[in-house]
Structure 1
Amino acid sequence: MIFSSLLAFALASAPSALAATKGGTFEEVGDTLVSAMMVFLGNEGKVYILDKAEGNPTQVNGHPAWAAVWDVETRKATPMDVQTNPFCAAGMHLPNGSFATFGGNGATSPGGEIGSVKYDGGYAASYDETYKDYDGRTSIRIITPCDGDITSPECLWYDGNDGPKMQKQRWYPGAESLPDGSVVLIGGFVSGGYINRNTPNVNPAGDGSEPTFEFYPSRGEAKVMDFMVKTSGLNAYALTYLMPSGKMLVQANYSTILWDYDNNVETPLPDMPGKVIRVYPASGANAMLPLTPKNNYTPTVLFCGGSDMPDSAWGNYSWPMINTFDYPASADCQRLTAEPLDGSAPAYEQDDDMLETRTMGQFVALPDGTMLVLNGGNNGTAGYSTATGQTATYGEMPWGMSLASGPAGRPAVYNPNAPKGSRWSNAGFASSKIARLYHSSAILLADGSVFVAGSNPNVDVNTSTIFPTTYKAEIFYPSYFDAPTRPKPTGMPKTLSYGGDPFDITIPASSYSGSGNDAAANTSVWLIRGGFTTHALNMGQRSLQLNNTYTVQDDGSITLHVAQVPPNPNLITPGPILMFVTINGIPSNGTQVIVGNGKIGTQPTSAASVLPASIKSDKAKGSGSQKTTSTSQDSGAVSLKGSALLGALMAIVAAVGMIGF
C-alpha cells in the first residue's frame, strides 16, 4: 500500500517536473479552422493549411472553408478560399518560393457523397451546389506566401476552372522536385478508394488507377510508368527521392527502383525486406537522412513502420479484408543507400526498430541533425471506412470510421550518428493528449519547434465520434528548447548558389558559453526544407549541412566561413529553405533563404566553394548562460530531466524495498 502510494505520488509529480522545462513538451496553440490534412511553412511566419472539401463550420465566400493560414506570432488562423477539392493532393515548393498543389478528388457534397452536378454516368461530379467545390482531380493550385495582408490579390490561392491543369486525373499522386525546379507527378487514383485495385486484379493499368507520369510545367503527353503497373494496389503516394546522379529512388508496394525519368528507364533494386509496406495506407515514416560533408552528401533513405499485413488482407478500392485496427503496425526500420560511393550493389540494411509499432508516423528533420517521429497509431492503417471484410456495418466498427487504433502520442527522436542499437530515444518526451491519426500533419517552424495539427478519419466533419475531426493545433518543443542560450548569428544571406564564393556568418560571444575554440569546432550550418506535408509524408523534405571553417576572435566572437550549396542541384533542388546555425546541438532560429536563381530552368553552377583554414584563439570565451541540459543529438540520447525523473523513481523503489514492503 505504501509502495503504491509512493509510486503514484512520484508518477503524479512527473508532469510537474517536466513542466519546469520546455524541451520535450507539447503546447496547445489554438484552432486551425479547417482540419490540417496538408500543411507547409510558406515563410518564417506563416503556416498554410489545406483540408478536403467538407462541412467545416468556418465559412469563406459563402461556402465552408477548406483552406487557412496560421500566423506563427499571433497563433491565429484565417480562412482562405480554394475553389477546387484538394482532397489527398500532392504538393511541392517552386524555385521562387511559391508552392503548388496537384490533384485532389471530384466535387463532394455533404456526407462525402458525389457532388450535385454529375458527369455522364454519375461516377463523379464537376461541382457541388452546397459546398460549392469544383472537381480538383486535374487542378494545379499555386500560392506565393506573403508577409503582409493575406487578403491582397497577390497573396491568394490561384485556383479555379480557368487555372492550370494536369493532363491526367490524380488522387494520391506522388511528387518530386527536379534539379531545374520543375516537378514530376507520378501515378495516383482516378477517383476514391482504400487501395488502388479491384479484386481480382485483372486490369492493373486501368480501372481506377492512373499509372502514368507527367511534369509541371508540361513536357508533353503523360507516359505510362511500368513500375506503377507492377506495384498495382499499394502505390498511392509513391515514395520518391532524387539521387545525386539525377535518377530517382522510387518505392511502392514492396518494390524499389532507380528511375531515369528523362528516358523512362527503370533499374530494379532489392525488394523491401519482409515485404513491409511503407506507402499509403500502411503509411510508414520515411525520410532521407541528413546530407553532410562527413557522408560525402550521399543520400540514405530510412523506412520505418507501416504494415506487414499479407497481400490478401489489403482488399481493394472498397475496404480492407480484415479488421486493420486489430492488426499491429510494424516497428521495423530499414536503411537504403541507392547510389553507394564505393560502387557496391545497393542493399537494404536492417536498422534499429522504432520504440513502438507505428502507422502514420511522420519524420521531421531537426536542425540538430536528428529526425523526430511523431503522430500515428500503434495498430492498423490510414484511411477510413464504414465496414471491413470482417465487420459488416458501421454500427459494429469499434473506432468509428477509423481503420487505426492506439494513438501513438509520444514522439521519439532518431540519431543517425549514434551507434547501432542506440539510435532511438523518447526520454523526457511528453505524450500529446490529442489523437493524431489519419489526416494529421507536422512541420518544422523557423524557431526549431514543430507545428502539429489535424486528424480526421471521417468522411465529413464529425466532432462527436471517438476519433473526431480535429481543429486543435499544438507545438512540440524538441529537447534543445531547454538550452538557456540560443545562437544569434548575424549576416545570414537571403540567397544561396550552387558552388561559388563562400560567405561569412558572425556568432557573438553571447551565443555560447565556455571555450570559443570548442564552440567553433562544434558549430554547424544546416539547411532544412520541411516540404509539403500530408499523409505522414513530407514531400520534398531535405536536410543538408553546409561545409564551413571558422575564425575565433579574442573577444569570443566567431566568424564562420561557409560554403555555398554543393554544385549539384540534385542534392537540394532550387527553392525556399530554412538556414540554421547550430552550436553543440543547440540551433539558432532559422532564416528562410532561396537556393538557386528563383526560376524554373537549368540552374547556374560554379566550382565548389574553397574555404580558408580555421583559426583558433585560446583567449576566446563565450558569455552565454551555462548549458544545463543535454540534447537529443547526444549519443546517449537521454535528457537530464528524464534521467533525473528515472532516478527519483528508482530511489523510491529502493527505499520501499529497504523498509520491507
Structure 2
Amino acid sequence: MGFTEGVSEGGSCRWSERLRIIMVLIAFVQVQSQGGSWKLLSENVGIASMHTAVTHYGSVIMLDRTNIGPSNITLPHGRCRNNPKDLVLPRDCYAHSVEFFPKSGRVRPLYIWSDTWCSSGQFGADGTLVHTGGDYDGIRRIRRFVPCPESNGTCDWKEDKKPQLYAERWYASNQLLPDGTFIVVGGRSEFTVEFVPPRPGNATYLPLLEQVDDYQGDNMYPFVHLLPDGNLFIFANRDSIVYDYRKNVTRRRFPRIPGTPRCYPSAGSSVLLPLRASDGFRQVEILVCGGAQLGAWAYPEELLDAAQDCGRLLVSDPDADWVMETMPIRRAMGDMVLLPNQHVTIINGASRGSQGWGFAEDPVLYPVDYDPRSPPGSRFAVMSPTVVPRMYHSTANLLPDGGVLVAGSNTHHFYTFNETYNTELRVEQFRPEYMSSELDFLRPAIVDFPKAVGYGESFSVAVVLPSAPHHDIELVLLSSPFTTHSFSQGQRMISLAVEPPLLVDASSGLYHVTCTSPPTGEIAPAAYYMLFALNYEVPGEAVWVQIVP
C-alpha cells in the first residue's frame, strides 16, 4: 500500500503522506454523501430499446421489435422493409434498431428484417454481436452485427438464411462458451437448450426448465452464468443447478431460493459476482435480487408488492445455501450492473406489479449500490434518483467511462406518448460517485496497453497517475453483455493478478503495471473486454482488450 512521496527535500515526507491520506478520505466522504449523479445523453434516440449492447468501439446497439408500426426514426435514403408477414406495416420505412454513440450523441438507424421481440444475444470472440430468436417471423432466426468505427458508418445487421435455430426461442438466454460457440437456453414453453452455430441433432431437453414451469411461466429468460470449471449455473423461477452442457448432465442441484419467483415475467435480476485471481478464481458467488410475487403477472390488477430481498449463493461451497439480505427498496424489473470498483448497481424497475403492458406501478427512481465485500448489514446504499421512470422493456449497461447507460421503457404495446408512463426515447447515464470530478486527482489513465492477449499471459500496462497517493493499482476486465428484460446475458468481471506498480517517470506520473491475463476460457471466454485501472477504487476510462485463444 505504499504511497508516492510528495516531498523530495526539506519538510517531512511522513507529514506529506498523512496530509494526502486525509485528502483522500475527505474526498471519499464528500462524494459518498452525494450518491452519484445523472446526465442526459440524448433526448430522443428514435426507439425504445428493450435490448442493448455496447460494442468494442464504444457505440451502443439498441433494438426494439418489428410488428408494432412506426418508431420515431425512419430508415435512411428512402429504404423500407417490405414484409407481408408484418402485423401492422407490411411496408415499414421506420428503423427498429439504432446505433448510438454516447460521446457524440449521434444516432444511426439500422435495418432489421425479422421480429426481434424478446430475443437474446451475446458478443463473440471477434466482437460480432450474435443475436437469436424473437417472435413471429424471427422466432428461429440467427442475426449478426459486425461493429465498425463511427467514422465508417456502414455496418448493419445481417440475417442468416440457413441454418436457423432448431427450436422457437422467445424469451431465451444466451451464454458464450469457452470454445467460442454459444448456448441458447429455454424460452416460452421451450424446455431445451441448443447451440450456435447449430450442432448436429435436435435441441436437447433440460428437465429443470419444465420442472419449475408454474402457471405464469416464471422459467423464461433463465439466469445463465458460465462457471470457472466450464459448467453452467442455470437458475429458473426459484431453482438452480450446475449443468454440464457437454454431457447433458445435471451435476448439482441447489436449495430453492426463498421468497418470490425471480425470472421473467416476475423479473428479478442476477449477476455472477467478480472472479478474482487473488483466490485462484476458486470463490464463485451468485447474487439474485428482487422479483414479483407469484400472481402479480397473472392478476395484474392487484398490483402486488415486489420483493425486497436478495439471495447470495456461494456456489463453490459444497454445502451452499442461499443467504438472504434485505434491499432498501422493493424492486421488480431491476437491472444489475457490475461496476469496475467491484460493486453492483441495482437500477430501474417498479415497486409493485410485474413485467407486462401496464402491469406495474410506482417506478423505482433510486439506484441502489451493493458492495459485496462489505459486512452483512452494510452493503446497500441508496443513490441519487433519476426523473425518468424505467419499467417494462428498460435496460442498463456499463460504458467504458465507468458510467451506466440507461435506456428504454415502454409499458404499452405500441409507441404511446399520451399516458402516465410514456414510451421512453430518452437515454441517460447514471454516473456512480467514483466519476465525481472531486476524485480526478486519484484517477488513473491507461496510456499504453496490448490490443490482444492470450491466456495466462504476462503483459504490461502503462498508467499515468495524478500527483496524488496511490494504492497498488488494480486492473479488472469487464465483459460487454447483451441486456434485456432485467438480465445481462454474458456479464462477468475478472480481477487480475497485478504486481506492484513500477515508477518509470516521476515528472509525468508514469507507471508500468504488470499483470497476468485469465488462465483459461472457462474464466474468461475469448472476446473483447473493457480493461479498467483503479486507484483507491477510483477507475479511469477503460480500454478494449481482446482475449484470444
TM-score (norm 1): 0.71
8 Å contact from structure 2 (residues 501, 513) kept in 1: yes
State the one-letter code of the partner of 2:401: D
SS at match of 2:448: coil
8 Å contact from structure 1 (residues 274, 308) kept in 2: no
In structure 2, the CA distance between the partners of 1:45 and 1:323, relative to structure 1 (3 Å rule), is same
Aligned-pair CA distance for 1:252: 0.7
CA distance in 2, matches of 1:138, 1:458: 25
State the one-letter code of the partner of 1:212: T
Whether 2:185 is the aligned partner of 1:183: answer no
In structure 2, the CA distance between the partners of 1:219 and 1:324, relative to structure 1 (3 Å rule), is farther
Equivalent residue for 2:84?
Answer: none
Aligned-pair CA distance for 1:355: 1.0
Equivalent residue for 1:241?
Answer: 225
Q: Which of 396, 418, 421 is matched with 1:464 structurally?
A: 418
CA distance in 2, matches of 1:531, 1:156: 19
Whether 2:195 is the aligned partner of 1:215: answer yes
In structure 2, the CA distance between the partners of 1:322 and 1:29, relative to structure 1 (3 Å rule), is closer
Whether 2:35 is the aligned partner of 1:57: answer no
SS at match of 2:356: strand
Whether 2:348 is the aligned partner of 1:348: answer no
Whether 2:453 is the aligned partner of 1:496: answer yes
CA distance in 2, matches of 1:25, 1:520: 26
Equivalent residue for 2:529?
Answer: 577
In structure 2, the CA distance between the partners of 1:425 and 1:292, relative to structure 1 (3 Å rule), is same
Equivalent residue for 2:147?
Answer: 145
Whether 2:515 is the aligned partner of 1:562: answer yes
Q: Which of 231, 243, 247 is matched with 1:259 structurally?
A: 243
Whether 2:434 is the aligned partner of 1:480: answer yes
SS at match of 2:208: helix
SS at match of 1:43: coil
State the one-letter code of the partner of 1:474: E
1:87-133 deviation digits (Å, cap 9, x = unpaired): 00001110111111110011xxxxxxxxxxxxxxxxxxxxxxxxxxx
State the one-letter code of the partner of 1:524: E
8 Å contact from structure 1 (residues 520, 552) kept in 2: no
8 Å contact from structure 1 (residues 137, 169) kept in 2: yes
Q: Which of 362, 372, 378 is matched with 2:335 structurally?
A: 362
Equivalent residue for 1:415?
Answer: 371
Aligned-pair CA distance for 1:185: 0.7
SS at match of 2:440: coil
Equivalent residue for 1:159?
Answer: 159
1:319-369 deviation digits (Å, cap 9, x = unpaired): 6135352x11111111112233xxx2222222x311100001111111111
CA distance in 2, matches of 1:150, 1:275: 50
CA distance in 2, matches of 1:275, 1:475: 32
Equivalent residue for 1:113?
Answer: none
8 Å contact from structure 1 (residues 550, 558) kept in 2: no
CA distance in 1, matches of 2:493, 2:284: 10
Identity %: 27
**Greater radius of gyration (CA):** 1
CA distance in 2, matches of 1:358, 1:224: 32
State the one-letter code of the partner of 1:583: N
CA distance in 1, matches of 2:50, 2:386: 18
CA distance in 2, matches of 1:224, 1:539: 21
8 Å contact from structure 2 (residues 278, 497) kept in 1: no
SS at match of 2:455: coil
Q: Which of 483, 498, 501 is matched with 1:533 structurally?
A: 483
State the one-letter code of the partner of 1:349: V
CA distance in 1, matches of 2:468, 2:424: 46
1:10-48 deviation digits (Å, cap 9, x = unpaired): xxxxxxxx99x9971111121221111000001243101
Aligned-pair CA distance for 1:164: 4.3
SS at match of 2:291: coil
Structure 1 residues without counterparts, runs of 5 or longer? 1-17, 107-134, 190-208, 385-401, 598-661
Aligned-pair CA distance for 1:159: 1.8
Whether 2:208 is the aligned partner of 1:227: answer yes
Aligned-pair CA distance for 1:547: 0.6
1:514-546 deviation digits (Å, cap 9, x = unpaired): 44xxx142x200101130011111100011111
CA distance in 2, matches of 1:23, 1:278: 27
CA distance in 1, matches of 2:548, 2:194: 23
Aligned-pair CA distance for 1:149: 4.8
CA distance in 2, matches of 1:87, 1:149: 30
SS at match of 1:91: strand
In structure 2, the CA distance between the partners of 1:82 and 1:503, relative to structure 1 (3 Å rule), is same
Whether 2:266 is the aligned partner of 1:282: answer yes
> How do 1:295-310 residues align onto structure 2 when only pairs under 5 Å count?
295-297=279-281, 298-309=283-294
In structure 2, the CA distance between the partners of 1:324 and 1:249, relative to structure 1 (3 Å rule), is farther
State the one-letter code of the partner of 2:148: C
8 Å contact from structure 1 (residues 150, 156) kept in 2: no
In structure 2, the CA distance between the partners of 1:58 and 1:251, relative to structure 1 (3 Å rule), is same
Whether 2:528 is the aligned partner of 1:550: answer no
CA distance in 1, matches of 2:268, 2:467: 40
Equivalent residue for 2:36?
Answer: 24
Aligned-pair CA distance for 1:163: 5.2
Equivalent residue for 1:589?
Answer: 541
8 Å contact from structure 1 (residues 23, 477) kept in 2: no
1:34-87 deviation digits (Å, cap 9, x = unpaired): 111000001243101000112213222222211000012211211110001100
8 Å contact from structure 2 (residues 448, 463) kept in 1: no
Equivalent residue for 1:68?
Answer: 98
Aligned-pair CA distance for 1:463: 1.3
SS at match of 2:276: coil
SS at match of 2:261: coil
State the one-letter code of the partner of 2:190: E
Divergent runs of 4+, >6 A: none
Whether 2:341 is the aligned partner of 1:380: answer no
State the one-letter code of the partner of 2:237: N
1:192-232 deviation digits (Å, cap 9, x = unpaired): xxxxxxxxxxxxxxxxx121111001122212111111122
Equivalent residue for 1:7?
Answer: none
CA distance in 2, matches of 1:368, 1:293: 15
8 Å contact from structure 1 (residues 364, 530) kept in 2: no
State the one-letter code of the partner of 1:368: N
8 Å contact from structure 2 (residues 266, 292) kept in 1: yes
Q: Which of 394, 404, 411 is matched with 1:450 structurally?
A: 404
8 Å contact from structure 1 (residues 527, 580) kept in 2: yes
Structure 2 residues without counterparts, runs of 5 or longer? 1-29, 81-91
